[in-house]
Chains A and B, each alone.
Chain A
Amino acid sequence: MQQQIRGWRFAAERIPRRRVMRDGPLAHSARTLVSACQELGDRARGMSAPTHGRMSAAQAMAARMPARVAEYMPGRTPTGMMGRMPARMAARMPGQMMGRRPTRMPARMARRMSGRMAGRMTGRMTMPTAMPTGMTSNMKRVAGGLGLLAAGMGVARWAINRPSARERELKNRWIMVTVNCSPQRLASRADLPEPITRLGDAVDIKIAPAPGDRGTELGARLRDLPRTKVAGMVTRHPEEDPRRMVEQALRDAKAIIETGEVLRGEWPAAAQAAQAGKLLEFAGRRGGRQ
């Protein structure tokens, strides 16, 4: 049976595929599936033919592969893993890894050639008489299908369960800056400069010494994340994003602590005023002072 399947495989590679006869006892595909299942069952019962001989055949064939490629494709540099691999190394590889290429590569190469050369090459080909693989190609198809199915299910599960981009974006993280001063300089909330105090109770504040001589880590986090409507607005108008306002406040506070002032850009003053206005509006509302 296996020999028949092998024969069909190689014939299919040489000639165009035709429609299967309807009145036959079994369609090709059905015969293929039956034979694959039979082989799987035999293996499960420990009845398969010993694979040692097949592996040895595959290893020997792999060792000859570079020379064979050179023979079939004169004037071309062998490329890819097989082409570059020394014969000794190829012979050491397991038959199941190497078995597929030795049996199929010459046929593929010949098929890719066109015109007169194709006929010549095909004529020179000598097909291996034994199939030096651990699994038949039909079993590979079944296993491949199952693998694809499992992979698809895994991807679908991951896509369903993962947090959406918006959820990840709006996760209420601490917004941090590192200020080049000692932690004692920022010992209490009262020591913080105006851009932070202006935020009032809208934020939690975190202060911690930075590693080494890097100063003090200053962080702020919104006590309440904006609801969905606001989140939609945030997407459309980044300047109204409360998290962005908190980050700007932290940066301004850092600049004031370190340099005594916030550097003003040379963009139009109107744009800056509008931005600052939004910050004040948000801070006042959240701080309950409006």
Chain B
Amino acid sequence: MKALCWEGVNRLSVERVPDPQILNDQDAIVKVTLTTTCGSDLHLINGYIPTMQAGDVIGHEFMGEIVDIGRGVRRRKVGERVVVCSFIGCGRCWYCTHDLWSLCDNTNPNWELAQDTLGFETGGVYGYSHAMGGFKGSHSEYIRVPFADFGTFPVPDGVSDLDALYASDAAPTGWMGAHMGGVKPGDVVAVWGAGGVGQMAARAAQLLGAERVIVIDRLPERLAMAERYMDVETIDFSQTDVRADLHERTGGRGPDVCIEAVGMEATGAPDGQYAYDRVKQQLHMQQDRPIAVREAIQVCAKGGSVFVLGVFGGMVDRFPLGILMNKGLVLAGAQQHGHRYIPMLLKRMASGELSASQLATHEMSLDDAPHGYDMFKHKKDGCVRVAFRPHD
């Protein structure tokens, strides 16, 4: 089958790879009908995530049709249209049974590698380095799905493929940021990053009752999309002082909940932070550029909360711990516990309450995936997300 392979830093190519096989009784094989780019893939492509090997198939956000199941699969059957959570959960360890699915104890076969790189092991995830399980990614025609009873979710008839596609990762990740960030009715919520996850977090905050939602980015087309589809306020951080602007809009208090949906490759900062972080990152003295996290902590209302949705890999410098402590903030973060939210999100999509298909600004065949990632990475032509159709 054909698949999009990581061949080195900033090198992607479509290659022929072996077809997936059922290796465990609880596996299923899914024919991928739609798979999409994600901002966290850029960290792999740009070489910031360790333990990648040439030939690794990338991609983790997808939907498709079950074409084969192992003899231990009980709740799914061949032919079902399903969306698959990007993280793999066994469904029976303590973390899975307590809705902390991305921390699953039993789905990372490369636990030693993960311990070497992170100090502990997360659950497995598709196409996201060997330290996170070494599973083949979804930018391929077929994919093996372990623990299919728990990781696949039938898509209701009223939900389009493009909406369901983003129920795999962007929508549950965004929802988790608003939910675990503690958004309550009447809150003012600020979201850093107007990509797919940021927009879904903003919509989730609205649905959880936030009085006002403010989205911060520098790309006018993304801010315009957020205004058009979610009717949120926006701030272009390249044109204004974000801290002063947020204080002005919130009566001097700052947002009650700050959601960071940017990650380790943040750009643009008013006081030279970007250059400082970039130099240290290039010299391998620091792994991440946490500009948005710093800003969120600095501007958050006293006693508020900051939730980190963006992907980070290691140590950071110039972290405002004194502000965090003295302001009485709650700081939390997580990889997505998608299994917890996907059924609810699919229901909301079916009822029309939540729409995500607008995120797919471009659709193309898997053969054009390297070009698609180039557009996505450099934000060409107003690209927010590219959806690939492997069988076209």
Mask, B172-186, CB within 8 Å of A = 1, is: 000000000000000
A259 touches B94 (CB 8 A): no
The distance in angstroms between the C-alpha atoms of A22 and B21, with both chains bound, is 91
A180 touches B94 (CB 8 A): yes
Stretch of A24-32, A45-53, A262-270 contacting B (4+ beta carbons < 8 Å): A262-270
A267 touches B134 (CB 8 A): yes
A264 touches B23 (CB 8 A): yes
Among the interface residues A238, A260, A266, which one has the most CB atoms of the partner chain B within 10 A?
A266
For chain B, what secondary structure do more than half of its interface residues adopt (helix, strand, loop), or is it mixed? loop
Cβ-based interface call for B24 (8 A)? yes
A261 touches B133 (CB 8 A): no
Stretch of A80-88, A116-124, A133-141, A250-258 contacting B (4+ beta carbons < 8 Å): A250-258
**A9 CB, nearest partner CB in chain B, Å:** 39
The distance in angstroms between the C-alpha atoms of A66 and B23, with both chains bound, is 74
- Given the known A-B contacts A180-B97, A259-B26, A259-B106, are A265 and B92 also in contact in the complex, defined by CB atoms under 8 Å? no
Residue of A whose beta carbon sits closest to that of B94:
A180
A261 touches B111 (CB 8 A): no
B110 touches A259 (CB 8 A): no
Cβ-based interface call for B118 (8 A)? no
Residue of A whose beta carbon sits closest to that of B26:
A261
Mask, B81-101, CB within 8 Å of A = 1, is: 000000000111110010000
Q: Which residues of B contact A261 (CB under 8 A)?
A: 24-26, 72
B147 touches A259 (CB 8 A): yes
Cβ-based interface call for B337 (8 A)? no
**A214 CB, nearest partner CB in chain B, Å:** 6
Q: Which residues of A contact B278 (CB under 8 A)?
A: none
Q: Which residues of B contact A183 (CB under 8 A)?
A: none
The distance in angstroms between the C-alpha atoms of A266 and B105, with both chains bound, is 17
For chain A, what secondary structure do more than half of its interface residues adopt (helix, strand, loop), or is it mixed? loop
Q: Which residues of A contact B343 (CB under 8 A)?
A: none
Query: Which single member of A251, A259, A264, A267 contacts B90 (CB below 8 Å)?
Result: A259
Cβ-based interface call for A96 (8 A)? no
Q: Which of B7-34 contact A (CB under 8 A)?
A: 23-26
Cβ-based interface call for B37 (8 A)? no
Among the interface residues A178, A180, A244, which one has the most CB atoms of the partner chain B within 10 A?
A180
Cβ-based interface call for B122 (8 A)? no
The distance in angstroms between the C-alpha atoms of A105 and B106, with both chains bound, is 63
**B70 CB, nearest partner CB in chain A, Å:** 10
Q: How large is the interface on A (under 10, 10 to 19, 20 to 34, 35 or more residues)?
A: 10 to 19
B110 touches A258 (CB 8 A): no
Query: Which single member of B93, B110, B135 contacts A180 (CB below 8 Å)?
Result: B93
24 A–B contacts, CB within 8 A, in A order: A180-B92, A180-B94, A214-B94, A254-B93, A254-B105, A255-B90, A255-B105, A258-B90, A258-B92, A258-B106, A259-B91, A259-B93, A259-B147, A260-B25, A261-B26, A263-B106, A263-B109, A263-B124, A263-B146, A265-B133, A265-B134, A265-B135, A266-B135, A267-B110
Chain A residues near B (Cβ < 8 Å)? 178, 180, 214-215, 238, 244, 251, 254-255, 258-261, 263-267
Chain B residues near A (Cβ < 8 Å)? 23-26, 72, 90-94, 97, 105-107, 109-112, 124, 130, 133-136, 144, 146-147
Beyond A254-B105, A263-B24, 19 extra complex contacts between A and B, CB < 8 Å: A178-B94, A215-B94, A238-B112, A244-B112, A255-B105, A258-B93, A259-B91, A260-B72, A261-B25, A261-B72, A263-B90, A263-B107, A264-B109, A265-B109, A265-B110, A266-B23, A266-B135, A266-B144, A267-B134
